[in-house]
Amino acid sequence: RADDGYRLWLKYDQLPEAGLRKAWLARAKNINVDKNGGPTLQTAAKELQLGLQGLLGRPVPLGAAPGGRGSISLRVTAAPELGREGYRISSQNGKLEITGASEVGVLYGCFALLRQVQTGQLPDQLNLSSQPRIQYRMLNHWDNPNGTVERGYAGSSIWKWLELPERIDPRYQDYARANASIGLNGVVLNNVNASARYLTPEYLRKVAAVAGVLRPYGQRVYLSVLWAAPKVIGGLKTSDPLDPQVKAWWQARTGEIYKAIPDFGGFLVKANSEGEPGPQDYGRNHADGANMLAQALGGHDGIVMWRAFVYKAGSGDRFRQAYEEFQPLDGKFADKVLVQVKNGPIDFQAREPFHPLFGAMPRTPLVLEVQLTQEYLGFATHLVYLGPLIKECLEADTHSQGPGSTVAKVVDGSLEKHSLSGIAGVANIGSDRNWTGHLVGQANWYAFGRLAWDHSLRSEDVAREWASMTLTREPAALAAVLPVLNQSRSIYVRYTTPLGLHHIMGQDIHYGPEPWLARSARPDWTAVYYHKADAAGLGFDRTAAGSDALALYAPGARQRWANPATCPPDYLLWFHHVGWGQQLSTGRTLWDELTTRYYTGTDSVQWMQRQWEQAKPALDPALHADVAARLCIQHREAQWWRDACVLYFQTFARRPLPPGLAPPT
Ligand code: GCU
């Protein structure tokens, strides 16, 4: 049967190498687990059994009796060095042991062992331990009650609200398995542009049913809340966070939630952003709002994630706005509040400098929000592996406490000594049979989880893991496919927004080029606002002579971008208005470099197609054909981007294409 992609990276198909199977079979004769353990421990044992039986091609019995040589024991032990969720896999006297300080630690350990088998490692001398560097590792679903998904490109929502709580779609469990297998531990079920409906008793029963499926897999459930809920469903006249009735309403509501879902994780809030209501409607600020919710959570083990994605018409450079609104509130947020910040200052562009709030709010734990759904990166049509994008942000040096103050260290809490830490990925998951529309979208879900667990992993290694588990371990095929994954994001940047161009895509839909967009309800919703092309040159001047957004960064970070002569070309037009004829560090003029990148980027999609063809003999025909077809569309659309942007910018530059580049016809 052709592979439809449903099983993700958890295929558990029999290992092709007889020797490898034999070696593992000798170490996996039975699984030894305490029958009195809780649901997570039993879940761990069953998953390990399922995986090993598939991979090794022989039943692996579960037993409670202490096993002899060749047995695998799952045990919860006092191991404070592993933290709450860490695990250890050790091998002694022919026995394997997976231990954790909690059942969920053992579960993560079982998936880690399966990953070893799936990626073709030998069982000899197996000895590894790992624990997450970031505490809250979440997917944010932008899913609506009516089944649509905001910026979703893989079908409709996987949450069947109309069927819940009576019917539990089997998919919920497979979803939980996938999240647990990559180390995630939390799920915001609904869109940040939230419906108040989720807080009604009717919906809390549904949410509780989903939570019940996710719980054994260590996945806690969270909700996005509509700020105006006290008015919309509570019958109050106000949603003012300082109003005693409003406070009492949230407190009562929170109590109801915890009655239905005892391990409820907390709230995600988008307030006073893009038309959503918020505390500013009552003259209060973000901290007033967040702290009131934190207080409503009271003694429950829950948190508030308050989003910093805000910008308003007429408030100057959009780049600066979240910083200006939030930085002065540093130190004003209650203990249970984390501020959730997108990776870049504008909005999930294909490449952005890191958000200037990182490093600038040392007294507030900041959640890093990245977007897995490819709103600005070609939806589910373009092949873009996001590992490099996520790593680029994590490794960016904020210099806030001198060199080495990376975003990763801000986010994991180590730099500023926070006990809370979090990272969120906006999910790319939908009802499509293969979950993500584009097969490589699965790699982005996978990479997010792995990097959330351990941000020191290399994006290339994560890509190799994913491809080995999902596509093939055949070396020649991997050698063809891995460079495609690893370079796909740079290639996408080249044919859409080279040299630091940003936000020049189609209005509203956010797909395809529309750099000529000049008329809209608001200046910051036009593309010309961002690229600033004129007869002299191109790019947004964010130096002191322009919007001075550069000044938001610590001097060490600012320095990297401040001088157009030394600014890395990838960031140039983010910060400088550069003359068309200006010679860049690449040796070409701006115009020549820009057009060369559009052309070579487009040609590189053909290279991706050739590489993909090379891997064909080793891949499942259905999966191969699906990606090959999407690559054809990608090439056509890369030409569309190239021709549209080159012709449009040429109307300002009034220069011919450099020799060797064929003018668009
Ligand atoms: C983007 C996206 C919106 C989304 C918003 C957000 O602007 O286009 O659909 O609601 O981000 O992150 O809140």
Report the DSSP pairing between strands 422-426 and 136-140. Answer: parallel
Mean pLDDT, residues 417-430: 98
- Determine if ligand 1 sits within 6 Å of the CB of residue 192: yes
Show the 3-state SS of 283-329: CCCHHHHHHHHHHHHCCCCCEEEEECCCCCCCCCCHHHHHHHHHHHH
Q: Lowest mean pLDDT: which of 184-188, 312-316, 593-597?
A: 312-316
Pocket test for ligand 1, best of 375, 503, 522, 530 (most atoms within 8 A of CB): 375
Confidence of residue 67 (pLDDT cuts 50, 70, 90): confident
Percent of the chain at pLDDT > 90 equals: 95
Between CA 206 and CA 122 the distance in angstroms is 44
- ipTM for this model: 0.99
CA angle 656, 661, 665 (to 5 degrees): 80
Mean pLDDT, residues 439-447: 99
Higher pLDDT: 406 or 126? It is 406
Between CA 271 and CA 306 the distance in angstroms is 8
Higher pLDDT: 444 or 313? It is 444
Q: Is the pLDDT of residue 1 over 80?
A: no
Per-residue pLDDT of 517-576, as tens digits, reads 999 989 899 999 999 999 999 999 999 999 999 999 999 999 999 999 999 999 999 999
pLDDT at 499: 98
pLDDT at 51: 98
Instruction: Give the active site residue among 375, 392, 412, 432.
Output: 375
List CB contacts of 109: < 8 A, sequence separation 6 or more. 44, 74, 87, 88, 89, 98, 99, 100
- Determine if ligand 1 sits within 6 Å of the CB of residue 309: yes
Annotation: CATH topology of 18-130:
Chitobiase; domain 2 (3.30.379)
Q: Check if 47 is active-site.
A: no
- Determine if ligand 1 sits within 6 Å of the CB of residue 438: no
- Length of the chain as a residue count: 665
Q: Is the pLDDT of residue 218 over 80?
A: yes
Q: Please spell the DSSP secondary structure of 14-34, one letter per residue.
A: PPS-HHHHHHHHTT-SEEEE-
Per-residue pLDDT of 68-95, as tens digits, reads 889 999 999 999 999 999 999 999 888 9
Q: Check if 240 is active-site.
A: no
- Determine if ligand 1 sits within 6 Å of the CB of residue 347: yes
- Determine if ligand 1 sits within 6 Å of the CB of residue 284: no
Q: Assess whether the region 18-130 and the region 136-470 belong to the same CATH fold.
A: no
pTM for the model: 0.98
CATH of domain 492-653: 3.90.1330.10
Between CA 179 and CA 137 the distance in angstroms is 10
Per-residue pLDDT of 616-656, as tens digits, reads 999 999 999 999 999 999 999 999 999 999 999 999 999 99
CATH of domain 136-470: 3.20.20.80
- Determine if ligand 1 sits within 6 Å of the CB of residue 327: no
pLDDT at 486: 98
Pocket test for ligand 1, best of 309, 507, 511, 530 (most atoms within 8 A of CB): 309
Domain boundaries, the chain: 18-130, 136-470, 492-653
Q: Check if 281 is active-site.
A: no
pLDDT at 665: 65
Confidence of residue 63 (pLDDT cuts 50, 70, 90): confident
Per-residue pLDDT of 461-499, as tens digits, reads 999 999 999 999 999 999 999 999 999 999 999 999 999
CB 323 within 8 A of CB 296: no
CA atoms within 13 A on the CB side of 224: 24
